[in-house]
Structure 1
Amino acid sequence: MIYGYIRVSTDKQTVENQRYEINQFCERQEIVVNKWLEETISGAKSIDDRKLGKLLRKMKKGDILICSELSRLGRNLLMIMGILNECMNRDVQVWTIKDNYRLGSDINSKVLAFAFGLSAEIERNLISQRTKEALARKKAEGVILGRPKGRKSSKTKLTGQEKKIKNLLENKVSYSAIGRLLKVHRLTVTNFVKKIE
């Protein structure tokens, strides 16, 4: 199956240029796009929050994803590398027109996938290291990190639903029924009611 992927960041941008480029490319290659996916969303958004994420999860071995350029897949290099790595691990090909990439299951793509995976791992380690260093510095400056020992959070799963719970209790609805309605355990309701009474 061949998928054409088009992404623009704002409503003011048009998808027509990308669609035209992909159609022209497919004509030259004598192939046809079986399904189009268009979305208006920032490339900085998580892949799971985008239609592209859903498409990648359902694509099968041998499928081809065609887009006008790699930047359509994501805003930053790390995100793009993650998407390409996922595609190559699942034997899904990614073709770009402007960049002229044909990433599939050949040896060059596998070397590239290794480089992408290694780069992503290095970036994750650097982020982790920077976080640890920042926390150590804060601690050295005397800043108390986290919630004080023995103190429970003031927010619970039911915070903000006090009025609704009181109304249900006034109508003689059981704690178990309230728990089912609010998708929490009966004891969570019991403990919450004790606090608000």
Structure 2
Amino acid sequence: MIAISNTYAYIRVSTRDQNEDRQLAALTSLGISEVNLFLDKQSGKDFNRPAYRKLIKKLKPGDLLIIKSIDRLGRNYEEILEQWRHITKEIQADIRVLDMPLLDTSNHRALTGTLIADIVLQLLSYVAQSERENIRQRQAEGIAAAKARGVKFGAERGLSFRSTTGKKGSHSYRKTEA
């Protein structure tokens, strides 16, 4: 009996505030059914993401996983490589990266194609991790600069509901405070 393959898509944005519409439009234009779309609004620092975990459990030999770009899969070089190998070698599903046709394992089955795809994957995974490190560095520099300007982070120490109102429950909140 021949297994019928399915096509799945994975979408990831780093935060709940980011919009997944660009990725969603690119992937739905390929005719992928909504039940086969998996979306995480979470950092790509590791692969402990709920939708990604569900997707991996669904993938079977011969299935195809489509992602918009390699950095949507993740930002950790070694883990991207590990997941790529797990999907393509252990599960025996294919991966297609829309913005990098060389990373389409369904088209490059020959040894030369696999070798080129492996080299490109390693390079792009390294770039994705470097970008994550750059983001963290810029964030740390921004926080340091803000602190140097006197910006305070977090709640003031020592203040509580009781100490600011005098007695418990005596303060009424406006909608903007709640």
How many residue pairs get aligned? The number is 112
Question: Are the aligned partners of 1:48 and 1:54 in contact in 2 as well (CA < 8 Å)?
Answer: no
TM-score w.r.t. the length of structure 2 is: 0.54
Report the AA paired with residue 45 of structure 2: A
Q: What secondary structure, in the 3-state scheme, does the structure 1 residue paired with 2:75 have?
A: coil
- Name segments (4+ residues, structure 1) moved above 4 Å: 112-116
1:19 matched to 2:24: yes
1:103 matched to 2:108: no
Structure-2 separation of matches of 1:48 and 1:102: 24
Report the AA paired with residue 111 of structure 1: L
Specify whether residues 53 and 110 from structure 1 end up closer, same or farther in structure 2 by C-alpha distance, changes over 3 A only: farther
Structure-1 separation of matches of 2:61 and 2:54: 16
Fraction of identical pairs, as percent = 23
Structure 1: 5+ residue stretches without partners: 120-197
Partner of 2:43: 42
Specify whether residues 5 and 70 from structure 1 end up closer, same or farther in structure 2 by C-alpha distance, changes over 3 A only: same
Q: What secondary structure, in the 3-state scheme, does the structure 2 residue paired with 1:7 have?
A: strand
Partner of 1:2: 7
Specify whether residues 54 and 112 from structure 1 end up closer, same or farther in structure 2 by C-alpha distance, changes over 3 A only: farther
Structure-2 separation of matches of 1:102 and 1:72: 15
Q: Relative to total residues, which structure has the larger helix share, 1 or 2?
A: 1
Structure 1 or 2, whichever has the larger Rg, is: 1
Structure-2 separation of matches of 1:57 and 1:110: 24
1:24-173 superposed matches below 5 A: 24=29, 26=30, 31-33=31-33, 35-45=36-46, 47-89=47-89, 90-100=91-101, 101-104=103-106, 106-107=109-110, 108=112, 110-111=114-115
Q: What is the CA distance between 1:35 and its match in structure 2?
A: 0.9
Q: What is the CA distance between 1:112 and its match in structure 2?
A: 6.0
Question: Are the aligned partners of 2:42 and 2:49 in contact in 1 as well (CA < 8 Å)?
Answer: no
Q: What is the CA distance between 1:110 and its match in structure 2?
A: 4.3
Structure-2 separation of matches of 1:41 and 1:48: 9
Structure-2 separation of matches of 1:39 and 1:22: 15
Structure-1 separation of matches of 2:81 and 2:38: 20
Q: What secondary structure, in the 3-state scheme, does the structure 2 residue paired with 1:103 have?
A: coil
Q: What is the CA distance between 1:23 and its match in structure 2?
A: 2.5
Structure-2 separation of matches of 1:114 and 1:69: 15
Deviations 1:9-47 (A, max 9, x none): 0111101110111233x1xxxx534611111010003x2
Deviations 1:105-150 (A, max 9, x none): 713464368769xx8xxxxxxxxxxxxxxxxxxxxxxxxxxxxxxx
Structure 2: 5+ residue stretches without partners: 1-5, 123-178
Deviations 1:56-104 (A, max 9, x none): 1331011111110011111122121111111111211111111222124
